[in-house]
Structure 1
Amino acid sequence: MKVFTSCQDAINACSTSHSFALAHLYSDEKPMKMHIHNSYELYFSISGGRQFLIDNRFYTIQPGDLFFINQYESHHLTQIDSQVHERIVFSIYPDYLKELSTPETDLNYCFSCRPENLGHKISLSDEEQKRFRYYVHKLSSIQGYGSDLLEKAVFLELMVYLNHCFSRYAGQNAASKEPEKPEGYHAQVDQILAYIHQNIGQPLAIETLAEHFFLSPSYLCRIFKSTTGTTINKYITAKRITLAKSLLMEGHTVSETAELCGFNDYSNFLKAFTKAVGISPKKYASFT
């Protein structure tokens, strides 16, 4: 199986094959900006990296951390270590995982279940990390006759194992209600993220946000950018696009979706959605 050295190449391969793709990445690839894509993402940290912003939640990244990100969640890697940032990333086509699932075994569970105390991350033990990397090595070694079937079989075994890890980790942390406060945590920015998340369908001009939090617009923009690594407007747009994808999949019309997501201009919605997702809202809705 081909192992990509670019996250974007893996995403493109996944979209083309409608199955899954694997990438092994290092610090020499510039991280993607706040983005959304149509595939699930499994992100395993080997070394380096400091922080992940997924939707409205921050996470500190440590070696052995595994993140589960679905197709409706915007995410952005911030504050990357300048020396080493090695990670393994799977891009997975959602319908492919659904096809592999059974009534007794839902392989989408780790991407669709979001316990408040757990969120998107689990921390694998040394033994779990070894087993995860065993599957990665096995996949990367497959070639020749029957490779398609062998890749599918190993991937299926991997996803059963990861769902088992996710379920067990969620159970172990069920009593924990305190959300993670990563390095560089900024209480005001955390409040701003929560406010945007709760009011994404409403007008969210910078001036309005600044007035709500009793801050100057310039200071608001400065602390948001320094903490998240992206601008408020880019973050809000990404959040609105992720909501739009979900609404379109639920059967809402394009015009209804634009209004519910807080886009006050229909043409701006069409441009923003097409740029972020790669296809128009109408075409995306036709896949439902």
Structure 2
Amino acid sequence: MKEVNSCKTAIENCKRTKTFSVAHLYKEEKTMDMHIHDCYEVYYSISGGKQFLIDNCFYPISPGDLFIINQYESHKLTQIDNSVHERIVLCIYPDFVKRISTPDTDLDYCFSNRESRFRHKVSLDKAQQKRFLYYISKITSAKGYAHDIVEQAAFMELLAMMNALFDVNAAESNVSDYKYNQHIEAILGYVNQNIDQNISVGQLAGNFFLSESYICRIFKQATGTTINKYITARRISIAKAHLNEGDSVGEAFDKSGFGDYSSFFKAFTKAVGVSPKKYANLSSEIPAKL
């Protein structure tokens, strides 16, 4: 499998092949705002140096950190600087992982099993880093006869490794590992608990006894995005999840918290690239697990 040098290309390849794609990134692409994928994302940091906001959790990024991001989880790199940031990103088609799982081994476990204290990050030691990079090299260097079998076998071993690591990581979970500004932690928690309700900057400012200008400033500094953009991304994430579960467009709209259908339609279409109805139709065409 040829590795690519763009996250967007990796996502497109993943959707086209309905399997997985690998991107090795050496320099900064134009930073995406808060966004959501239909595919799973595995993010491995080689050089570290930035910060991740995934749903309502902040994580510092160090060399050797591995992040597991589920489909529909909104995420964004924050605290962008001009330094070189080398990383590897795997985009994975969810149904592919389910198809290659067995009754005894659920390779989808680290994506689908999300308890309340779940951490998206695990820090790999030197031996684990070498093992991870070995599997990536095996996937991206496979050529000639049986290359597809070699790629899939290495990919399955990589998933088995990740599941084992995240299973241990969940048992040792400690929320003190998250790096929060106390105000931002409270704001993110409030937004996510009330995402289906009307939420405004003025309401948040009043609820936390802060001025509107101050709450907007500290939120942007901490997350790299605005409060309204974050709320919109979270609501689109919820709507996509409901549409994929078979809910009608109207039901997804009702459950996502948008104030009116016009705003929902425009925001969804702009972020996803297709209308809610077309997205629902495309989702219904995805074949069931074999």
Shared topology, TM-score over 0.5?
A: yes
1:209 aligns with 2:204: yes
After TM superposition, list the pairs within 5 Å mapping 1:78-157 onto structure 2.
78-157=78-157
* Alignment-mate amino acid for residue 66 of structure 1: L
Tell me the TM-score normalized by structure 1: 0.93
* Alignment-mate amino acid for residue 25 of structure 2: L
CA distance in 2, matches of 1:74, 1:142: 33
| Deviation larger for 59-68 or 103-112 | 103-112
Against the structure 1 CA distance between its residues 9 and 169, is the aligned structure 2 distance closer, same or farther, given a 3 Å change threshold? same
Contact 1:48–1:80 under 8 Å retained in 2? no
Contact 1:117–1:179 under 8 Å retained in 2? no
CA distance in 1, matches of 2:28, 2:59: 22
**Aligned alpha-carbon RMSD (Å):** 1.5
Per the alignment, in what secondary structure is the counterpart of residue 4 of structure 1? coil
- Correspondence for 1:51: 51
**Which consecutive residues of structure 1, in runs of 5 or more, have no partner in the other structure?**
none
- Correspondence for 1:31: 31
Percent sequence identity is 56
Contact 1:35–1:74 under 8 Å retained in 2? yes
| Deviation larger for 234-243 or 214-223 | 214-223
CA distance in 2, matches of 1:29, 1:274: 23
Against the structure 1 CA distance between its residues 181 and 152, is the aligned structure 2 distance closer, same or farther, given a 3 Å change threshold? closer
CA distance in 2, matches of 1:147, 1:271: 43
Contact 2:48–2:64 under 8 Å retained in 1? no
Contact 1:38–1:277 under 8 Å retained in 2? no
Contact 2:119–2:170 under 8 Å retained in 1? no
| Deviation larger for 251-260 or 5-14 | 251-260
Per the alignment, in what secondary structure is the counterpart of residue 47 of structure 1? coil
1:154-180 Cα distance to aligned partner (Å, 9 max, x none): 111211121112112223x05x3x342
- Correspondence for 2:288: none
CA distance in 1, matches of 2:176, 2:111: 19
Q: CA deviation at 1:81?
A: 4.2
1:18-72 Cα distance to aligned partner (Å, 9 max, x none): 1100001123323322111111000001113221000011001111110000111
1:135-188 Cα distance to aligned partner (Å, 9 max, x none): 1111111122322222112111211121112112223x05x3x34232xx3211
* Alignment-mate amino acid for residue 227 of structure 1: A
- Correspondence for 1:249: 244
Q: Structure 2 residue aligned with 1:267, among 232, 238, 262?
A: 262
1:226 aligns with 2:201: no
User: Displaced runs of 4+ in structure 1, greater than 3 A?
Assistant: 115-118
Tell me the TM-score normalized by structure 2: 0.93
CA distance in 2, matches of 1:22, 1:67: 15
- Correspondence for 2:275: 280
1:67 aligns with 2:67: yes
Contact 1:42–1:66 under 8 Å retained in 2? yes
CA distance in 2, matches of 1:129, 1:116: 27
After TM superposition, list the pairs within 5 Å mapping 1:3-14 onto structure 2.
3-14=3-14
Q: CA deviation at 1:82?
A: 2.4
| Deviation larger for 95-104 or 26-35 | 26-35
**Which consecutive residues of structure 2, in runs of 5 or more, have no partner in the other structure?**
285-290
Q: CA deviation at 1:282?
A: 2.1
1:175-223 Cα distance to aligned partner (Å, 9 max, x none): x3x34232xx321111101000000000011111111111111111111
| Deviation larger for 269-278 or 83-92 | 269-278
Contact 2:5–2:25 under 8 Å retained in 1? yes
Per the alignment, in what secondary structure is the counterpart of residue 167 of structure 1? helix
CA distance in 2, matches of 1:123, 1:48: 11
